[in-house]
Amino acid sequence: MKPFYITTAIDYANGSPHLGHAYEKVLTDVIARFRRQQGDQVHFLTGTDEHGQKVQASARRRGVEPQAFCDEVSGEFRAMLPRLQITNDDFIRTTEERHKRVVRDLLQRLFDQGDIYRAEYRGYYSARQEQFLQDKDRNPDGSWPEIFGEVGEITESNYFFRLKKYQPWLVSFLEANPDFVFPRFRQSQVLEFLKEPLNDLCISRPRERLSWGIPLPFDDGYVTYVWFDALTNYYSAVVDRPGVWPADYHVIGKDILVPPHAVYWMIMLQAAGLPLPRHILAHGWWLQRGAKMSKSTGNALNPLDLVDQFGSDAFRYFLMREMNVGQDSDFTLEQFLARYNGELANNLGNLVNRTLNMTTRFAEGVVPPAGAPGDAERELRELWERTSAECIALSEGFQFHTALERTMAFVAATNAYVEKRAPWKLGKSAEAADRELLRTSLATMAEALRLAVALLQHVMPAAAGRINEVLGHVPGPIWRDELAWGGRLAGKRVAASLVLFPRPTPPAAVTAG
């Protein structure tokens, strides 16, 4: 079976990671874990994008060599991964030899077959974006949009990649594969972009202007344009692992879909005769008060502050619960706290506490076997059957926010079931029927908790592990089997208590940085 190969964008090694970077890793990890638990063999790649003007300039400002600068920043991105419980199988840096070799081979191949040519170019150039501009990029009043910074006119001899030649192919490919980009409305944006004729892509930068890059194999007076270099990471990382390429999903932000991923990368692969990725998933942005969170606007949140304070399970839960994949979301601490307190501490945490506490008080810490179900047990079980089927379908379609909402609704229904059965009252009675109902209610709440945890584990792996542990449950190898309602915990000894989501100590210290 071909491994399910999933990648994130590789982050620019020119500043510290922020919430947007963390989100992309968490989203990709949730998908990777979900696929693994469904039986796929997964290969999960992430990494850092280390060449180019921005990195060279940042290193210069700090007065260090670009390589030393990259080692430090890349190290910071890498160190974040275990703190977020990211289960990547590989981490690629574009300054590694294994990557540079593949970029050079690819360039040489495209050059030899005539898809890369040399030409004079005179045009407007944005140093900040490392991009040549055209008049159509101007604002209606003739000025240049701010994102380009200072724009100058330059003439240069450069190397160009024949994008235009492949435009008709790309359009027909996208038309034949309407599910290529998720969400679908983003695929329409790609086609919209392709209504205009493409220009060939300048893939070289003269050394005197930029030295921090991969030299062109056929002209070492130039280094490779950073996007051509960076995109190749997805392939270079697995070139020595037969059967892994092509990627099943490239997970990226919406800002880098068009043109880099949906146009340049697709045409690079097609021109090189390599198999194409199966899908691109373009997620939205985390905003703060309506503006994209980014380092340059100074409104970026340090994800690790939230992790320090609330734990990485709560952090992952919030990101997945709050954001509808593909749309933008505003981040506010109030909303984070509302979900933390309401959904994690009060709803899930409460069910954990009650289960442990009542099993300890009324059954000497051992989950009893369930007796014959009454209406309340039957209703809860029916809700479970619906919830689990829905959550699988929703998660397969990346609707994690709704799947979590449904799972938490099931947890809430279990809490309501406990209120209704009131084991604390049954525990006072010596009647045989009450003793039986007590056993049934304790068994039912424990089983419902175990099941809910099976639907949460790809989002909150550590919390799921701890709850299973205190329930004395060791999940079996087949995840689907874990979803079957079956009184699996009868006879298991539970722990007396577990504090999973402690009340935050005010004031919540989350800093912008």
Residues that bind ligand MSP (CB under 6 A): 9-12, 20-21, 23-24, 49, 230-231, 233, 252-253, 255-256, 285-286, 292-294
230 contact partners, CB below 8 Å, separation of at least 6: 10, 49, 51, 94
Task: Give me the least distance between CB of 470 and ligand MSP, in Å please.
Answer: 35
Shortest separation between residue 245's beta carbon and ligand MSP, angstroms: 15
Closest distance between ligand MSP and the C-beta of residue 359, in Å? 42
**Least distance from C-beta 511 to ligand MSP, angstroms?**
17
**Closer of 278 and 381 to ligand MSP (Cβ):** 278
Instruction: State the residue for tokens 């638990």.
Output: 37
Rounded to the nearest whole angstrom, what is the least distance from the CB of residue 453 to ligand MSP in the complex?
28
Residue placing its CB nearer to ligand MSP in the complex, 50 or 377: 50
Cβ–Cβ < 8 Å for 285, 292: yes
Q: At what angle do helices 19-37 and 303-310 cross, to 10 degrees?
A: 60
Q: Report cis status (omega within 30 of 0) of the bond before 507.
A: yes
Beta carbons of 440 and 370 less than 8 angstroms apart: yes
DSSP string, 161-207: E--GGGHHHHHHHHHH-TTSEESHHHHHHHHHHTTSPPPPEE-EEET
Nearer to ligand MSP, 190 or 256 (CB): 256
Residue with tokens 């749309």: 327
Q: Which is nearer to ligand MSP, 285 or 501 (CB)?
A: 285
**3-state class of 429 per DSSP?**
coil
- Helix, strand, or coil (residue 460): coil
Q: Which residue is nearest to ligand MSP (CB)?
A: 253
Residue 280's Cα: distance from chain center in Å? Answer: 12
Q: Min. distance of Cβ 226 from ligand MSP in angstroms?
A: 8
If the CB atoms of residues 35 and 283 are measured against ligand MSP, the closer one turns out to be 283
Is 104 or 254 the residue whose CB approaches ligand MSP more closely? 254
Task: Give the Cβ contact number of residue 460 at 10 Å.
Answer: 26
Chain centre to alpha carbon of residue 187 = 19
| Closer by beta carbon to ligand MSP, 274 or else 376 | 274
Neighbour-count burial of 178, counting CB atoms closer than 10 A to its CB (0-12 exposed, 13-18 middle, 19+ buried): exposed
Least gap, CB of 23 to ligand MSP (angstroms): 5
CB of 21 to ligand MSP, least distance (A): 5
Contact indicator for 280, 6 with CB cutoff of 8 Å: no
**247 versus 391: smaller Cβ distance to ligand MSP:** 247
Helix axes 66-83, 53-62, angle to 10 degrees: 100
